[in-house]
């Protein structure tokens, strides 16, 4: 009789969680980046007019 490999299953679950967490982290970073670049663009527009 074949026994299930619980260590393999556990490792796969851990890898899936880690991947999901990393993707979530990347999405958060992408959400923060565009507003910061937009603000720096506005600062550049103000400098020449001064």
pLDDT score of 7? 95
- Block residue for tokens 């880690």: 18
Dump pLDDT digits (tens) for 3-45.
888 999 999 999 999 999 999 999 999 888 765 445 555 555 5
pLDDT score of 12? 97
Task: State pTM to two decimals.
Answer: 0.53
Checking if the pLDDT of 46 tops 70, the result is: no
pLDDT score of 19? 98
Residue 31: both structure tokens together: 């959400």
Residues 6+ apart with CB under 8 A from 28: none
pLDDT score of 36? 47
Chain centroid, CA 20 distance in Å: 9
Question: What CA–CA distance (Å, rounded) separates 10 from 26?
Answer: 24
């Amino acid at each position: 009789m074949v026994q299930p490999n619980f260590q393999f299953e556990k490792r796969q679950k851990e890898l899936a969680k880690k991947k999901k967490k990393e993707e979530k982290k990347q999405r958060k970073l992408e959400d923060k980046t565009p507003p910061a670049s937009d603000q720096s663009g506005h600062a550049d527009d103000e400098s020449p007019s001064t």
